[in-house]
Every structure is written in C-alpha cells, then in structure tokens.
Amino acid sequence: MTPRTIGFIGGGNMAASLIGGLLADGTPASQIWVSAPSETTQLKHKERFGIHVVADNNELVRHCNVVVLAVKPQKMHEVCTEIAATVRSSKPLVVSVAAGVRTADIDRWLGGSTALIRTMPNTPALVQCGATALYATAQANNSQRESAETLMRAVGLTLWLEEEDLMDAVTALSGSGPAYFFLMLEALEEAGVKLGLPTETSRLLALQTAFGAAKMALESPEDCATLRKRVTSPGGTTERAIGILEQGDLRRLFATALTGARDRARELADQFGKA
C-alpha cells in the first residue's frame, strides 16, 4: 500500500470536489479510490479523474489507509456496519464528512477503537472555497490528523475543534451559512429591482459586492466591525441603511436563527445515533 492511499465511500458532489482538490494539489490518481453502487457513477469518476473505481466498499477499505465516509447521514449506520470487520482488520484512518453523525456512534458501528476524524465542510467546497471544521478522536495520531487536514485543505479553509459538541455550532454557522448568504443576495437583488435596476444588473452588483466584501474581510487584519465603520460615513447613505437594519434587530434575528439550527443539529444527531 502506498504511504497515503485515499478511498471515498460515496461518489456524490462532496467526494468529487475533494477528489478534484487532491488531484489539483498533486496527489496521483493512482492513490485515489472511490466506491459507488451505480455503474454510471463509477464510469463518471473513472472518465473524469482516472482514479480507481469499485462497487465493493470492503474492497476499497482493503486498499486504502484513509477511508472517507462521504455518504448521506441516513446511510452511515448501514455503511459502517458493512465495513466494520474490514476496518478492524486494516485499521485505516476513517474520515467522516457526514453532517450530524457523532464520532461515538460511528466508532460503535465500526466496532470500536477506530482512528476517526469527523469533519464539517460546507458547499463552497464544491468550488474550492469551503470552510471545514475537524475533530479528532484520541485514537487518531498526529500523522493521521495531518492527512485529514491536508485532505480538507484541498477544498478551502480548515480549523480544528477541541470539543466535538462545538460541531453543532459549526453546522449552524458555516454548514448552513451559505444558504443565509444566498437569502441575503436574493433580498438585495429584489430590493435593487424595486429601486428600478434591471434584474441582471441588480443580481451582478449584489454578487460582486458580496464577493468583494468577503475578500476584503479575509485579507484585512482588522475585524468586520472596523471595516464596516470605515465605509459608514456619518450622515451618509450607508449609515442610514445600517441604522434601519439595526432597528430591525438583525443581530438578534441571526442569533435566534443560528441557535435554532444548532438545536436542530443536536436533534438530528440524536436520531442518527439511535441506529
């Protein structure tokens, strides 16, 4: 087995994004495997990436020292119990990208004492601009932690958590976060149209403004509050708009929304763990 042979159980969009990121970072196609029951999916990955494709999850585990569980949360129990014996024999690092499934449950389904890292990527990973939080169990050594971080860094920013319970907050903030920004972009576009702008003009102005603001915030050493104050001239148009948003208690609304998302993540984790 090569020093780092990576296998993906599940051939959906997140797996494809990670595979593309690994290849772009220089990982040879010969070191990447994917298993999927659909022949169509297998052929698609074979033609697009030139990697190994199989239908048998256990065959993939036997060939890989990093196994990425890239299936839907509802399928995790089934997949883990299917590969449990092979995982106990081969002892790969197991990386989960499934939202809302706790490491204790995955480890139990795999038979215990698994080197396991749970991650929470978000959909911008599909365009190599993701944000991923990672949590490692005690069985994962430093080399395995580095392998997981390298994997997820291929599609964006990575951050480690010391407490797994914080994954629910991450899910609420960055996991669900792209939808919040899409909603704000919808609202900005609609408001621009109501002010008389053509729809396409309003859409492009909203999109580029969001992109530019995020790029400025990422590249600036200053926090967002300072950047906001810099573009808010006293008595000007921005101050008027910000004042109206603050009167609408926007901060409280976001805090309530994220708390609701966090609580729902906990509820789902409890449901998945009952299997």
Low-confidence ranges of the chain (pLDDT < 50): 1-2
- Note whether 130 and 36 are same-domain residues: yes
Residue 70 lies in a domain: yes
Residue 275 lies in a domain: no
Report pTM.
0.92
Distance CA 139, CA 68 (A): 16
**The predicted structure's pLDDT at residue 1:** 41
Distance CA 174, CA 123 (A): 9
- Note whether 112 and 185 are same-domain residues: no
Closest Cα to residue 133, out of 179, 109, 168, 103? 168
123 alpha-carbon distance from chain centroid: 6
- Domain-terminating residue out of 136, 152, 170: 170
- pLDDT tens digit string along 125-163? 999 999 999 999 999 999 999 999 999 999 999 999 999
- Domain-terminating residue out of 143, 170, 197: 170
Per the CB < 8 A criterion, the answer to whether 54 and 67 are in contact is no
**The predicted structure's pLDDT at residue 3:** 60
Q: Which residues constitute the domain of residue 215? A: 175-267
- Note whether 192 and 62 are same-domain residues: no
- Note whether 33 and 133 are same-domain residues: yes
What CATH number is associated with residue 213?
Answer: 1.10.3730.10
- Domain-terminating residue out of 127, 142, 170: 170
Residue type, 129: C
Residue recorded with tokens 């919808």? 186
Report the number of distinct structural domains present in the chain.
Answer: 2
